[in-house]
């Protein structure tokens, strides 16, 4: 059962309609088999994870992915960690073992994220990729499905750090109704089961809603979204 907290956050979400404590972002019920854990990571854990990510970004700097057909750059910048990393360019969407600019292997996934995957995913193999997307206050992510992986039985686990994002999630058709929630720093979201291929995206970033991302690494603040994925089927 979900609870509406005094701040308007939801403690746990089970796919039912949540209490009307933030009606601006809930025009439809949250889809089934999505797990939403508000404030799952403590501030200390967020800060420790951010320190790990700063080291990752030094080795594997942000790059700008582009659309396969048009070559238009995404509004987010990104990098990866883990054995594989997701890239997008004129060659299409794909996973590869090296950074597209430096040619170096991706850094390892931080232990904080691996532990979170093992505790929440219910999947018998570790993640192979962690996408690190950086959103400034103007960045968005259009509605899409995560379907470049071999095994859709593996969930997609997402962690938010920094500024709050207005996130939408719907069903397996692009035109279906969508729920909207605010993902704040430390929130965790799991797309699994029926909702593994749900269309989802980021409508906007609420600039200045967090002070976690700060100069000199993030002079304009912003948001990091960390997405853990299993790419291949375990042998």
- CATH number for the domain spanning 103: value is 2.60.120.590
Q: Is residue 6 part of a domain?
A: no
**How confident is the model at residue 106, as a pLDDT?**
98
**How confident is the model at residue 81, as a pLDDT?**
98
b/e per residue 177-212 (b: at least 16 CB within 10 A): ebbbbbbbbbbbbbbbbebbebbbbbeebebebbeb
Sign (positive/negative) of CA torsion 225, 226, 227, 232?
Answer: positive
Q: What token pair was written down for 99?
A: 């950074």
**How confident is the model at residue 8, as a pLDDT?**
33
Task: Please choose, from the candidates 168, 169, 160, 163, the residue with its C-alpha nearest in 3D space to the C-alpha of residue 205.
Answer: 163
Cα distances from 74 to residues 34, 62, 87, 130, 141, in angstroms, run 26, 12, 11, 18, 8
Q: Is residue 4 part of a domain?
A: no
DSSP single-letter state for residue 105: B
Determine how β-strand 200-206 pairs with β-strand 141-144: antiparallel
How far is it, in rounded angstroms, from Cα 133 to Cα 141?
Answer: 10
Q: Is residue 7 part of a domain?
A: no
Number of domains, the chain? 1
Q: Is residue 153 part of a domain?
A: yes
Q: What token pair was written down for 149?
A: 């992986």
Q: Is residue 185 part of a domain?
A: yes
Range(s) of the domain holding residue 105: 12-229
**How confident is the model at residue 27, as a pLDDT?**
52
Q: Is residue 16 part of a domain?
A: yes
Reply yes or no: is the peptide bond before residue 216 cis, omega within 30 of 0. yes
**How confident is the model at residue 107, as a pLDDT?**
98
How far is it, in rounded angstroms, from Cα 160 to Cα 188?
Answer: 7
pTM (whole model) above 0.85: yes
Contact 155, 192 (CB under 8 A): yes
Q: Is residue 2 part of a domain?
A: no
**How confident is the model at residue 32, as a pLDDT?**
84
**How confident is the model at residue 22, as a pLDDT?**
43
Q: Is residue 158 part of a domain?
A: yes
**Residue spans of the chain under pLDDT 50:** 1-26
Q: What token pair was written down for 147?
A: 């379907």
Q: What angle do CA 42, 167, 100 make, to 5 degrees?
A: 85
Q: What token pair was written down for 141?
A: 């992510």
Residues contacting 71, CB < 8 A, separation 6+: 89, 90
**How confident is the model at residue 141, as a pLDDT?**
97
């Amino acid at each position: 059962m979900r609870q509406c907290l005094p701040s308007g956050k939801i403690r746990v979400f089970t796919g039912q309609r949540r209490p009307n404590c933030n009606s601006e972002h809930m025009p439809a019920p949250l889809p089934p088999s999505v797990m939403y854990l508000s404030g799952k990571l403590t501030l200390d854990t967020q800060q420790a994870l951010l320190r790990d990510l700063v080291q990752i970004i030094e080795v594997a700097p942000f790059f700008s992915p582009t659309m396969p057909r048009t070559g238009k750059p995404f509004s987010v910048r990104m990098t990866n960690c883990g054995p594989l990393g997701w890239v997008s360019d004129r060659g299409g969407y794909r996973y590869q073992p090296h950074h597209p600019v430096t040619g170096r292997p991706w850094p390892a996934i931080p232990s904080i994220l691996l532990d979170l995957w093992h505790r929440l995913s219910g999947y018998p193999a570790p993640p192979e990729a962690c996408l690190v997307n950086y959103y400034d206050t103007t960045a968005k992510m259009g509605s899409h499905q995560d379907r470049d992986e071999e095994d859709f039985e593996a969930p997609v686990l997402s962690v938010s750090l920094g500024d709050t994002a207005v996130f939408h999630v719907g069903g397996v058709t692009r035109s279906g109704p969508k729920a909207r929630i605010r993902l704040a720093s430390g929130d965790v979201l799991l797309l699994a089961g029926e909702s593994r291929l749900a269309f989802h995206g980021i409508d906007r970033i609420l600039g200045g809603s967090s002070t976690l991302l700060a100069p000199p690494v993030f002079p304009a603040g912003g948001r990091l979204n960390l997405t853990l994925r299993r790419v291949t089927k375990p042998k």
